[in-house]
Chains A and B, each alone.
Chain A
């Protein structure tokens, strides 16, 4: 009999021998075909691992189970970063959108939010086509009931390691590492009015066996809730009189590889805005007794509340409802902002009280979902579990919400599952390098009590981590360290980086007096208090300036820079942000230095002889920070505690060998002079002064 859920020591050897001959073997097995699972499987396969993707139904791979849109403010940044690591979702969106719009256009390129309404059908088809044709990637329809486990590897945290999975039919598959991306399917419950039934998504069964296994293994589990609005029939809606939102022309693609999106600008669809009123509020308030989901204490997202909770928290006002198309041919409209769990007949009353929806027909009522998630503080920054070796988690199971958050974790988990099998060091994106780094650090250090969504306000170095430079930040590392980036993309990124560096150098070398500039570019109001001479790069940072204006004034050598549209746009952004980014550089260095100081993974905070209060020990034990940088972000840890911890670790772990850590940095083309080498050191290794004091990385300019 196979050991299920927990390993039994006496039988191990014979089992393994038996399995070795019978069961199929993959280097990486990914469970789940949602946005995290597809990205994880594709990334592992790109990295060179023989990969198996297991899903309940191949037909639902790439399904967008909630809103029909991708991106947004903060989320658009994540899509760009997934794309920079050669992930799927950016390219898929460029081939499936029906309404592209960059949000926050007026607020500066650091916070632009690339967003698109997506044709669900096209997106799903695109992802399935891509996944089914990815080399080294096999897809199988099967449910996973259990994990195969064995003794742990020495010198790593974890009480056992995963060696494969047990499928619904009792057969087994062996795996070098396993990525779990089961979304809301862990003990999912769907709620509508007073009815509740177990399910992940409407119509799909939840994964109960796996949830029990994880609980038996000792994973801390929490419960979250979310919801989705009713879907409406397009031809029953009266759009006249509603505020129309038109898409961008030309649309901005998500992917660095796309020159343009698939759809003709003029063929795009519009969205419409309507508002709720007090009649809708009254229906909700009169029927709270019929609404279990709203009354329960499980945490829902504050930023994506159900209509009921909006009415309760901000009464007596109108609430926005966006009417979004679900596809080019689709007859379905998604009323964004109207997530509800009222009984269906009352949902209909609410809908019909709204302008434009007086005769709207509900195709599918809204419902709430409650589901288990695993406390992400049990994961390392590589997304590998500290409890079970070689088991990775990504997506909604870690307490996040949103396709983009799931996809970003999926890429990182897939890369690391692959690197783990190859015996290479993990691929960690720092908070200073990307939104995905902030996302994973927040989750693994601080955990979450509500579904975690990306916001730009969570990001300390927002001025540096922009959508325009995601490739400069991540593509090179993805190629060199993770092997998950294609040659073509890498070459394109290298070319762009060189062109940016050249362009900046050229612009900086063009220096004239202010009076000459005023003559050359009269449309730019140059301040006369500036000291002469002024470079073209300085001029470019004026809001009134751009590369076309400069190239008209100085055709040689600027015309060829201005003619390359992407390049000239990026030069403009680099110029505008140079000052701000330079100001942040020192702080970035500080964070990196602290992040380079790794804490031993097996440290027992309750037992160690360091001067730490019981409260601090408790906090450190529950969040298990992996670096001193992470320690300093744990609330309630004092500066003295940090220093005492450093001292303890330094004196106790003196003899261990340093670990290899990925080299970060050199991604900000405008700013390389300021950047010093990042001393990547484990605390336990004595630090050599020479190495720290003198190395300065000079990026070729």
Chain B
């Protein structure tokens, strides 16, 4: 019998969230929704920030069990700052992603956390990496994750173009999050976005009532 439950068929265990990151010309945008839910029925937090800073110009988004994700990012943050002191230079984005990957893979039996790492470094410029639940590391120009991401695969495939401008990319990310939040009941709240470029970091928060509206609302 084919069950049509999107989560169990497609993503394995439900990771009640929507996260994404996309590169544009000169930087990256990384963003998430702000809902934490328990069992798909109770919203335990309406305004949690799932975009965590792990270094000056490197951020990551967590999906999965928030407890696991917080524990891993805390350890990764320490690891990275130590690494950066040793190397006497800001860490590479891929170094941050690798630190997360190592932890996710080593503890893949116990953990249930996936990450999107995005940032800017001197060597390769803007980059996005995704560390999946089992600990695979892959670099992509744009990536989406969490339970809400299933609903926006089509939109992202159609709308994302490499080398967009900063504003175009920000609008694209906001739209994508809004569309996912509109269809996924465990994603919602506000849209947290961070724009990372060579010059620095900018936080953008789009409250629920300012999110773009589509035809059926």
Tell me if chain B binds chain A. Answer: no
Instruction: Give B contacts to A, CB under 8 Å.
Output: none
